[in-house]
Structure 1
Amino acid sequence: MTKNRLTKTLRALVATAVGLVSLGVGTGAVALDSSPSGTTANEAGRAAPAVAPAAASVEDVTVEINQSASFLSGAEAMTLTVTIDNSTTSDLPAGTLDITSGTQPIDSRKALTEWLSGAGDVASDRVLTSIPIPVLEPGGRHTITPITVSAELLGLPAEPGAYPIDASYTSADTVVGDSETIVHRPDGATDNPLGVAVAAPITAPPSTTGLLGADALALYTSPSGVLTRQLDGLIDRPVALGIDPMIIASIRALGNAAPASAVNWLDRLSRATNETFPLQFADADASVQAQAGLPGLLNPTSLLYSMEPENFVEEAVPDAEPTDPDEPANPAPTIAPTTTPSPTPGPAEPTLPTLAELTEWQYTSAGIVWPDDGTVQAADFPVFSASGATTTVVSSTNVTSEGGYTLGAAGTNGDASVLVSDAAASDALRQAATAITSDEQLDALATLAGHLMVIAAEPNAPQRTLMLTLDRGWPPTGSRLSDAITALMAMPTVAASALSAAAAEEAEAVIITDLPQGPDRIALVKRLHTREASLAAFSTMLDEPALLTGRERAEILALLAVAWRSDSEGWARAITAHDTATTRTLDSVSIAETSPILMVSNQSSLPFSVRNEYDLPVTVVLQASSSSLKLSVDSSVTQTIAANARESVRVPVEARLGNGEVTVRLQLYSPQSAVIGESSLVPVTVRADWEGIGAAVLVALVALLFIGGLIRTVHKRRAERRIPADTYAGTDMDANADTDATTDTDATPAAHADAGER
């Protein structure tokens, strides 16, 4: 592991003195078993500048030791590679690299931790070599390799242990170094077996959808996908798998539409010999739920929203009829029967799997809760217990004990059982599993071997099994992860153990060191929970509320995934987007703005518009109330509004006690009396007496029309009597001659009137 550190004053002086001597004798004086070669980004013969530049910042200069093996065994040798990087913007003057080691093993975890961090009192006073380093340009790198070391050269005694080794680089006023350990297991040494149990999560990258879609599953289960890399590196290895049920449910919820690679991946997982246990759905962070005040850990309620019936239609496979060997190849045609054949039955309605069927799995253990490292407090355990958890995985940074040695896996905190994972050793294993290069992996494995050797040699420690955990990261390749597990199990003193066996050992009492999550994260989880309750009330307008509540719960669980903790900015954006979508849903059903209404009758049905911008039909109850006794509302009205539509809802009302201005308050409810949206106020002008006035006016108009018609008829008849008789005769004879029609006696008065007018 690479570290920058200022060495102690005395040690810096010694290193500088040795470096000055080495500059005088050249590189030939620094050979160990074989002469190391130096490669640099600078020209080898570059001269030092006449004036030395100012001292570089130590943080911008790094030294790193890489080992070719994680431990020395017997008379074998290993090679070291030391790399110096200059990340400053100025030259580093020519300097020296001093490699020293110690001949006494590191005897405690505290001393090991301090040594690896560049502090402590571990003795590293055996000078192995001093190597001149040329001028390093800005951004330059100098690598010294190979430096071959053996137990004899290091002066190691015949005692197994983790021994210190150090590389210190001095350039002008800049002194930085890297401290590592070399694990030595001499031939004939008696091992002190240390059981090691490993647990690893099987999880997908964090999302916001609640379930993985077909495209995501196809990507993750492809030959180079993250789920494939995890399974390739862990399947049938001595590793307990914590499986995210969301992955299983996502594949099954797609039915026939599931990608073939995902189906095959799930089949491989089902045949694995590993111990298994379920994580929270979507690997939701358990500790933040408890600290947000939830009474219990959240679980999915329904995944009905994600399934399409056509994906669960079973394809009929016709049964092959047996062939009679005695039957001729071309039988004679038969005469079809004359009876009418029965109609072929249509396909049956597919049955969608239940939530239990989607998430069912044959786990070897259950009841394990695995929060993120360093996030648990003692008050969380009652919430875990209320949710059915029997064991909680906690990091060693989250607990203390009175033993004075490294804790084994099995522990108790009051009535609660815990599995303690060793933080430092787990971190080294994680670095080895996710290393990009082989050198990085070997460096991490060397650090891990040092931790395990020191733990195994701790005095007064009982026989116990150590627990190591991998995190929610993803290895670059399945082989890198597999190599890390293989190397771990090959380390001195390590004996592979099952997680169930580690949990069954005698438990040691531990004290939880409260490490609560940040208040901002807790506040966001509280808001998610509150908004979910609002959506639950909204869903009571739907024929199938689970279509909304099931989706919301699954999405909340996805947003609580532990993997989001490493991407706080992305998580905040995801929470904001989800909150916006929730607001849009809650605002999708409301009373549309209504203009003032004029009511001119004693009884009427006032129209109010209700809009539904949700994707499903909703059933609403419109309740109206009057601000005055002048208007009485008979009852509420229940009506179904189509999806993405606006419809008018008519509310019966009755005018009473005169006229005037009245305000009608409108409120939407679901059929289960849940309040929907904001109330609305509509002004209504009541003019009930206008109905009587209007009727009187209408009657008066009808009467006037009747009287006018009667007067006109009387005037016409009087005019007819004043016309002479012979006028009628002439007129009638002329009319008969032209039309040859029968005389209409009813029309005669009108004809006389016309003649009189002429």
Structure 2
Amino acid sequence: MSRVGRSFAAFATLLLPLGSLGAIVEESHATVVHTVISDDDGEASPTQSPAPTPTGPQATEPEATITSVGESTMDQGEDLHVDVSVSNPSSEPLDINSLSLSGHFSPIMSRTELVRFMEGGGGALSPLFTDTSAQSIAPGGQRTLSMTVPAEQLQWSGSFDSWGPRGLQVEVLLGDGTWLADRSIAVVAPAPELMPMPAAVAMPVTHTAEELLEPSLSEDIASISTEPDGPASTPTPTATPTDSEESDAAESSRASTSVSEMSTPGVSLFVDPALAHGDDSLATSLSDFEGTADTEVFLTPIYDADTTALTHAGAEEMIQQAYSSSEALAEELEMSADTDVAFVSGKTDQNTMNALDEAGVEGVLLSDQTIPQTGFSYATASARTSIQAGDVQMPGLAVDSLVSSALAGQIGEGEESAELSALDSQQMVLGLSALTYRERPNDPRAMVLAIDRAGLTEFGGDPAAPSPSSSLTDEDISGTIEALMEASWVDPHTVSDLLALEPSVAEREALPEKEANPGEITEAQIDQLSQAQKNIGWYANVSEDPSLIADPTQATVQKAFATCLRGQNSVRQELIGSLENLSSQFSDSLNVQPSSTINVISEATELPLHVRNDLPLSAGVVIQINSHDNRLVPKQDVAVSLPAEGTSDVAVPVEARGSGNVQVEVRILDPAGNVIGPSQTVQIRVRADWENVGTLVIAVGLAGIFSFGIVRSLRRGRQHAPVDPKEFSQDQRATRRAAWRHGK
């Protein structure tokens, strides 16, 4: 039994006399009432079906749930078929003493009355039958009781004034005196041929918050190959399969499954093209979807950017960039979809409309709660309207929030809301649409329904579920849409078809100049993203392929703008943190290694430096020496290519003058002249005059040696001055005379 049905239990006890009266009335008119016990496949059987495996919290009390009301709509003169499932989760047998069914004799006349009935409110119900045969359900089992009420007893007319929804209520009296009850809706189709009202369903196909975190930025950067032949793969702007998922790559993704389920006339998709990047299954599903009549595909700004939040943060240029990125990616993927219609979630304002107009948007969808009708009106206005924002007037469609919530399996608002079963969701959507038509049968106004983005609850979606609703599957919602579009009073249209209609004359409240939604990205967060992206961009620009770093960085920034993160600020902060961490990591990735004091003894020489590159790609940088001492003057900056994750030796030419100890600053620049690495101080011992002194000493030494050799040579080879012959003869005679004397 649904949550709504359980709320009827207490109310049903008040109807016991009415149920008894129903039995008397039925017996007196000899009405034929068929009650059979069937198994799951619907065949009559005396056996009992085991209780289904629960998908949520396991029930501890018996429940009665209407599981079928026959066809989604009944033709006039058709029998009513109702199935009710009674479960027994206890460990004791469960006795059923009676089963009764009651319903509205006349159709429900307003949307408010229908909602009140499903919420457990009053309404005059007529007994349709009562079965008092005793039955029993084994412990842990369940039984499906199938009931048929003949058309002649119902007397439900499909005339112009009588077709539409009628409430049903099933009551089960147990052996211990407990009453179980559940409600649903039967919809009688109109007998006369009507001019159908145009209707469309808008369905966003976007990321969940969890999907935005996969893969992480660090994983993208770490995946960059450093093979000599170049990168093995280029990071994509969306999630890629992990190693454990590669074997399942051929299986359909969540997004492609949703698209396949929604291939129904009247559905318009608003697809984030980043989901389709690398997802062949989604591309195939979209191709098949476009082959369905009365369907179309629009593109959201990349990663479904929150245009309202960006407007409030003064980042209108980022809206245009998001749309441009979406269009570029769609062209790359060969997607034949446009970005000229925006599906705005939550509150919006005139400033946002102006920003969308500047971005090239020509039509907009927004909730009817954002632009409600002014004053009192007994009829729901056409969805087609015009949005006035200053000098901008934009064609618009107001989403019917009440019927959209029923489509998502919700009824009521806030703490009073309750979940609807798949059957009740379908019948509520059909009933509400029928009543919308009947409000002004001569004026078949356009209706637009919408399914929530993952993570938002504007129309009843569950933020914790990857699908639009926690209680309903895509298949359930698709079945409801199909039943609606096949109803005789509905004509499937696309969003573009409805925007082409003439706007309604019904007045709606003007948009405020500015109105924010809870959880919007803030201006401070945008500044954090921009600064981190700028810092990382410096390092991307010096790498051999800047896109390998810049693309995943840009994707992470754009993910942080996603509309689904309004209620997931922790995920947004994680994305911001990943960018800041990478920026911090890169800030130390290029650096000059510390060295001991370098001796310079020549006027013209080169300083030997060791430069480290920890980036995953080779980097083209400029090494610059900054000296504030004229004794060492850099001659020129040196451009060099540093291999990835390695250290390189770089020689920088300098000119030395004089002698002394000098301290210089070595900086790493990108080609544009921006400093992208930490500066390193290097100690230099300049002794440029040593070279001159040494040369002089050597020259003096050589000159001395040369002079010494000459002197020595002269000394060894000295010649006397010329001798006068007369003096020589006299000397000779004197010498001989002395010798004679001596001998004597």
Q: TM above 0.5, one fold?
A: yes
Distance (whole Å) between structure 1 residues aligned to residue 58 and residue 474 of structure 2 = 39
Question: Which whole-Å deviations, capped at 9, do the CAs of 1:465-494 have from their partners, x for residues lacking one?
Answer: 101235567799998777554422222422
Q: Which residue of 1 aligns with 2:644?
A: 643
Q: Which residue of 2 aligns with 1:309?
A: none
Of residues 295, 298, 316, the one that matches 2:316 is 295
Question: Which whole-Å deviations, capped at 9, do the CAs of 1:695-716 have from their partners, x for residues lacking one?
Answer: 768987998999999999x99x
- Alpha carbons 2:323, 2:359 under 8 Å: kept: no
Distance 1:457 1:642, change over 3 A: same
Distance (whole Å) between structure 1 residues aligned to residue 87 and residue 237 of structure 2 = 45
Question: Which whole-Å deviations, capped at 9, do the CAs of 1:165-208 have from their partners, x for residues lacking one?
Answer: 2345678898775432221236x456463221234456688565
Alignment of 1:368 with 2:364, yes or no, is no
- Alpha carbons 2:625, 2:634 under 8 Å: kept: yes
Alignment of 1:445 with 2:426, yes or no, is yes
Question: Which whole-Å deviations, capped at 9, do the CAs of 1:448-468 have from their partners, x for residues lacking one?
Answer: 211111211225995411012
Q: SS where residue 380 of structure 2 aligns?
A: coil
> Which structure 2 residues correspond to residues 361-440 of structure 1 after superposition, within 5 A?
361-363=335-337, 366-371=339-344, 373-374=345-346, 376-402=348-374, 404=377, 405-414=379-388, 415-429=393-407
For structure 2, the 5+ residue unaligned runs are: 41-45, 49-56, 216-235, 411-419, 454-465, 713-744
- Alpha carbons 1:589, 1:614 under 8 Å: kept: yes
Question: Which whole-Å deviations, capped at 9, do the CAs of 1:107-160 have from their partners, x for residues lacking one?
Answer: 333333333333x4544465754779989999x464442122456545656611
- Alpha carbons 2:101, 2:168 under 8 Å: kept: yes
Distance (whole Å) between structure 1 residues aligned to residue 30 and residue 623 of structure 2 = 92
Alignment of 1:164 with 2:192, yes or no, is no
Q: Which residue of 1 aligns with 2:672?
A: 672
For structure 1, the 5+ residue unaligned runs are: 46-55, 252-258, 304-352, 433-438, 716-758
Q: Which residue of 2 aligns with 1:495?
A: 491
Question: Which whole-Å deviations, capped at 9, do the CAs of 1:211-248 have from their partners, x for residues lacking one?
Answer: 57699999999686667656655558343344544467
Question: Which whole-Å deviations, capped at 9, do the CAs of 1:386-421 have from their partners, x for residues lacking one?
Answer: 211122222334442226343432123313332222
Distance 1:707 1:379, change over 3 A: same
- Alpha carbons 1:4, 1:58 under 8 Å: kept: no
Question: Which whole-Å deviations, capped at 9, do the CAs of 1:328-349 have from their partners, x for residues lacking one?
Answer: xxxxxxxxxxxxxxxxxxxxxx
- Letter paired with 1:237: P
Q: Which residue of 2 aligns with 1:69?
A: 71
Q: Which residue of 1 aligns with 2:305?
A: 285
TM-score scaled to structure 1, two decimals? Answer: 0.65
Alignment of 1:239 with 2:267, yes or no, is yes
Distance 1:233 1:22, change over 3 A: closer
Distance 1:126 1:271, change over 3 A: closer
Q: Tell me how far 1:60 sits from its aligned partner.
A: 7.0
- Letter paired with 2:340: G
Distance (whole Å) between structure 2 residues aligned to residue 703 and residue 91 of structure 1 = 124
Q: Tell me how far 1:69 sits from its aligned partner.
A: 2.1
- Alpha carbons 1:559, 1:574 under 8 Å: kept: no
Distance (whole Å) between structure 2 residues aligned to residue 524 and residue 149 of structure 1 = 63
Question: Which whole-Å deviations, capped at 9, do the CAs of 1:263-317 have from their partners, x for residues lacking one?
Answer: 87676567665553431255523435445543242338789xxxxxxxxxxxxxx
Alignment of 1:358 with 2:332, yes or no, is yes
Distance 1:592 1:285, change over 3 A: same
Distance (whole Å) between structure 1 residues aligned to residue 522 and residue 154 of structure 2 = 51
Aligned length: 627
Distance (whole Å) between structure 2 residues aligned to residue 262 and residue 44 of structure 1 = 44
Of residues 180, 193, 198, the one that matches 1:195 is 198
Q: SS where residue 452 of structure 1 aligns?
A: helix
Q: SS where residue 73 of structure 1 aligns?
A: coil
Alignment of 1:620 with 2:640, yes or no, is no
Q: Tell me how far 1:367 sits from its aligned partner.
A: 0.6
- Letter paired with 1:358: E
Distance (whole Å) between structure 2 residues aligned to residue 370 and residue 707 of structure 1 = 98
> Which structure 2 residues correspond to residues 286-685 of structure 1 after superposition, within 5 A?
286-287=306-307, 288-296=309-317, 297=319, 298-299=321-322, 357-359=331-333, 361-363=335-337, 366-371=339-344, 373-374=345-346, 376-402=348-374, 404=377, 405-414=379-388, 415-429=393-407, 441-458=422-439, 462-470=443-451, 484-508=480-504, 509-512=508-511, 514=515, 516-519=517-520, 527-542=528-543, 545-554=546-555, 556-557=557-558, 575=575, 579=579, 582-583=582-583, 586-587=586-587, 589-601=589-601, 605-626=606-627, 636-652=637-653, 659=660, 662=663, 664-677=664-677, 679-682=678-681, 684=683
Distance (whole Å) between structure 1 residues aligned to residue 105 and residue 30 of structure 2 = 20
Distance (whole Å) between structure 1 residues aligned to residue 444 and residue 371 of structure 2 = 20
Question: Which whole-Å deviations, capped at 9, do the CAs of 1:575-602 have from their partners, x for residues lacking one?
Answer: 3795378447734742144135344547
Distance (whole Å) between structure 2 residues aligned to residue 632 and residue 135 of structure 1 = 103
Distance (whole Å) between structure 1 residues aligned to residue 188 and residue 330 of structure 2 = 52
Question: Which whole-Å deviations, capped at 9, do the CAs of 1:350-408 have from their partners, x for residues lacking one?
Answer: xxx99685255544x6511124x436455432322221112222233444222634343
Distance 1:478 1:14, change over 3 A: closer
Distance (whole Å) between structure 1 residues aligned to residue 691 and residue 87 of structure 2 = 99
Distance 1:524 1:705, change over 3 A: same
Distance 1:130 1:566, change over 3 A: farther
Distance 1:441 1:660, change over 3 A: same
Distance (whole Å) between structure 2 residues aligned to residue 374 and residue 699 of structure 1 = 88
Give RMSD over aligned pairs: 5.7
Distance 1:520 1:357, change over 3 A: closer
Distance (whole Å) between structure 2 residues aligned to residue 523 and residue 125 of structure 1 = 62
Q: Tell me how far 1:627 sits from its aligned partner.
A: 6.7
Distance (whole Å) between structure 2 residues aligned to residue 695 and residue 105 of structure 1 = 115
Distance 1:109 1:4, change over 3 A: closer
Q: Which residue of 1 aligns with 2:52?
A: none
